[in-house]
Structure 1
């Protein structure tokens, strides 16, 4: 049975929860939902009295409702990853409190700090005005360097090690493919022979990772904030996991994030992107692995669109973006096929 999130009743629930965590009462201002995303719900929450004074601090609350695209949710992977990156060269919001107990706020949730900045929209046409070249170059440098910093993190002694589950450089790709195979089996409403063919190819051509790294899973424009030419925060860690760092490269370099340009995420020339990343991360980029993960990324996108179509058809998410996403399944699978044929 679905648990509908009633925005009007969130403030007193939040006040009770934060008061219990802090050991003293707090006051909650107007809770505002951001009209973004297809999965987790995101809210701005003004809180007075966090430090025992009358000052107001604005927090971000993320809720994973049971009717969401990737439900059921757990906040734990995001929180473990964000906590593991505190003090690193990866700009992430500070994670505060979280729980997967839906009885508290109606769904799994996490609170983190609110960071200033705006998201760069990735889905614009190449014919529309873009970023000024110098500004774009500065953002691109930080975009690349933050990704390399993420993949350099020695995670074995950090909270995110809880997600390891026996992963190695040798089995990382295989485990990843099997995960998405299970998602397709759960979400698809009809057989997709091309997806099954893609899964067989991916299992038969698994590359060995140069190392096991924290992988963001959705690293692209649209998922970072920038202010005054500086990337202030990398956002949306819901697909985070441990795996081959080439996965984030493959995802970022998908054509749908180029906006009709020839630039990775409409920011960086591909040759320079891979060269700078390799220099910063400490290993040479394998273009064979990048192409492999481009194919897997297109399968992931197709699976996501399958989830959206099922979400809408089952009446769990009455949002017309869901059937629109479902209409893109065949396109993604066809692009996956072309990518695989080009990798042979």
Structure 2
């Protein structure tokens, strides 16, 4: 018996108490297959008709909420007025399907942001975006007022949690350490705890036109401060390329989002506290990017997608420096500013060296071009997506092979008495450079700008020129 057939039979068995003895499983298909949990869609067929359902299944771990806890939390959220899928059954036991699982109704709508953007443009553009933004703020307020009695949710210091997670990898960056120093020195007084979604952002919301149809992915839910969810929704990564004036989920302004939340929750938010949590949220995303790369590098999950995500760390570093509002590199030229026309295989002078032509950069460019022009038009789905990711990874390698002189960056390090970034990171963490409030940010801008020129040219300019 195939694994799919076994899963079909198991699903029918667990659904009989809910839907009757004549239930049959049809159209079973996988939607996502993550390292820990997978999502499947299927139809439950009974004498009265078809019911579109979703299965989430995977082994337990120390990071995600259990399936039964997710179900209890979503029930509490629904009672508070939060739009969530109705859950038919959730079980922490692996007996029925081989792993803990959760089955819920399928909700019609979109989760892919580019498709949501097209829907919003058709539904009225900025007016539709503002309507959806308000729905998101009101739904988040409802989450935070949900009754958590009896849910037995974890409550952990978020700053310490992300410090430990970074330390567990045995890897850091100087900008991360500077952010940790700032967060430790500027920590605001604690606010009341409430139910926290933990991953409230575009991509985890089902949108139908300008309406919020449902909130998904409750696996990181816990007790915490409302600011955590508010700040996470407003980091740059979850704008998905939208301009800065649409800083809240790419839908509208952060001020509008917070104002709507205040109205819905009947609370007043403190700007300084929100800023602190936004810095922590941005740092959190940077650590997650580094962790995803570590999953690839360690051999846990070999993936070109995870490997390439590691090069996004410098994006979060730039965002952190902007949020900390420190001055850019001094005009003496400490930071190697990215120039239009950063060298590529078509503009840079070929340097054949001992290996002749094509150079390593030219070979990398040729393979990237093959993926872009031949493989992608001939493929679809996940292969097409990974071909695009692989081409992007090769373009990063090409730019690194052709990269400009890094001596200005090394000079910036030397002015702080450091020979490399690891030494700088250690000095920052030890507090040895706390009094260098101009020199350290200047050096960090030099380091991050140099990395961005290879990983994502123009990222640092887009924030200030778009829109």
Alignment of 1:8-157 (within 5 A): 9-19=6-16, 24=21, 26-35=23-32, 40-49=37-46, 53-65=47-59, 74-121=66-113, 132-153=125-146, 155-157=147-149
Q: Distance in 2 between matches of 1:250 and 1:183?
A: 20
Q: Which structure 1 residue ranges, 5 or more long, are not aligned?
A: none
2:274 is paired with a residue whose SS is helix
Checking the alignment, whether the CA contact within 8 Å between 2:285 and 2:316 is kept in structure 1 is: yes
Checking the alignment, whether the CA contact within 8 Å between 2:77 and 2:142 is kept in structure 1 is: no
Q: Distance in 2 between matches of 1:123 and 1:193?
A: 37
Residues 332, 106 of structure 1: CA spacing in aligned structure 2 closer, same or farther, 3 A cutoff? farther
Which is bigger in relative contact order (C-alpha 8 A, separation at least 6)?
1
Shift of residue 179, structure 1, vs aligned partner: 2.2
Residues 293, 33 of structure 1: CA spacing in aligned structure 2 closer, same or farther, 3 A cutoff? same
Aligned to 1:231: 212
Aligned to 1:309: 293
Aligned to 1:285: 269
1:183-221, Cα deviation, whole Å (9 max, x unpaired): 3234x2534454344334434433234421211122222
1:278-333, Cα deviation, whole Å (9 max, x unpaired): 12111111111111111111222122223311222233334321111122223323
Q: Distance in 1 between matches of 2:172 and 2:34?
A: 27
Shift of residue 156, structure 1, vs aligned partner: 3.7
Q: How many residues align?
A: 321
Q: Distance in 2 between matches of 1:58 and 1:31?
A: 10
Aligned to 1:325: 309
Checking the alignment, whether the CA contact within 8 Å between 1:102 and 1:108 is kept in structure 2 is: yes
Residues 220, 31 of structure 1: CA spacing in aligned structure 2 closer, same or farther, 3 A cutoff? same
Q: Distance in 2 between matches of 1:193 and 1:23?
A: 59
Give RMSD over aligned pairs.
Answer: 3.3
| Residue of structure 2 aligned with 1:255, choices 236, 255, 269 | 236
Checking the alignment, whether the CA contact within 8 Å between 1:77 and 1:240 is kept in structure 2 is: no
Shift of residue 84, structure 1, vs aligned partner: 0.9
Shift of residue 22, structure 1, vs aligned partner: 6.9
Bigger radius of gyration, 1 or 2? Answer: 2
Q: Distance in 1 between matches of 2:166 and 2:87?
A: 31
Q: Distance in 2 between matches of 1:257 and 1:72?
A: 21
Normalised TM-score (structure 1): 0.80
1:29 is paired with a residue whose SS is strand
Q: Distance in 2 between matches of 1:302 and 1:109?
A: 30
Shift of residue 36, structure 1, vs aligned partner: 7.7
Q: Distance in 2 between matches of 1:117 and 1:81?
A: 22
Checking the alignment, whether the CA contact within 8 Å between 2:110 and 2:116 is kept in structure 1 is: no
Aligned to 2:452: none
Aligned to 1:195: 176
Q: Which structure 2 residue ranges, 5 or more long, are not aligned?
A: 327-436, 438-467
Shift of residue 124, structure 1, vs aligned partner: 9.9
Shift of residue 60, structure 1, vs aligned partner: 0.8
Q: Distance in 1 between matches of 2:278 and 2:35?
A: 22
Shift of residue 108, structure 1, vs aligned partner: 2.9
Q: Distance in 2 between matches of 1:89 and 1:124?
A: 23
Checking the alignment, whether the CA contact within 8 Å between 1:145 and 1:277 is kept in structure 2 is: yes
1:208 is paired with a residue whose SS is coil
Residues 64, 290 of structure 1: CA spacing in aligned structure 2 closer, same or farther, 3 A cutoff? farther
Aligned to 2:167: 185
Report whether the alignment pairs 1:275 with 2:268.
Answer: no
2:212 is paired with a residue whose SS is strand
1:79-125, Cα deviation, whole Å (9 max, x unpaired): 22101112322111122322333454333321111111112506999
| Residue of structure 2 aligned with 1:241, choices 195, 204, 222 | 222
Q: Distance in 2 between matches of 1:44 and 1:57?
A: 11
2:108 is paired with a residue whose SS is coil
